[in-house]
A = this chain, B = another copy of it.
Amino acid sequence: MGLTKIDTYSSLTLHKAAIFKALGHPARITILEYISKQTTCICGEIVAELPLSQASISRHLSELKAVGLIKGTITGTSVCYCLNLETLPLIIQFINQLHLPTPQTCCP
């Protein structure tokens, strides 16, 4: 995150920012959409789907998992990932909470 004055923000603000930051990379957007497209859960097929190394995919998956956007379940030697339903509503809530301007209240 570069030189961020992290201690000056509320933990809620930091949490929201962390979720959005996790979504702020094309590989992670692609991974998330790929996971959601499958009716059954996914494991390392993502490595075959994206032009990234296994190490990089694993890193992206753990970032998505760290902020609670996906869940992973170990099944034998492979890991099954699926969307985590608990975190997505926070994003909707953030958007809905914003007080949208009308042409009258907005800038001249």
Contact = CB atoms under 8 A, between A and B. Distances in A.
Given A13-B26, A18-B24, 10 more contacts: A4-B25, A13-B30, A16-B23, A16-B26, A17-B24, A20-B24, A41-B101, A41-B106, A72-B107, A83-B100
Contact of A83 (B26, B41, B80, B98): B98
Contacts of A36: 97-101
Number of copies: 2
Contacts of A51: 5, 8
Interface residues of A, number: 54
Given A91-B91, A107-B82, A21 B25 contact: yes
A12 to B, nearest CB: 9
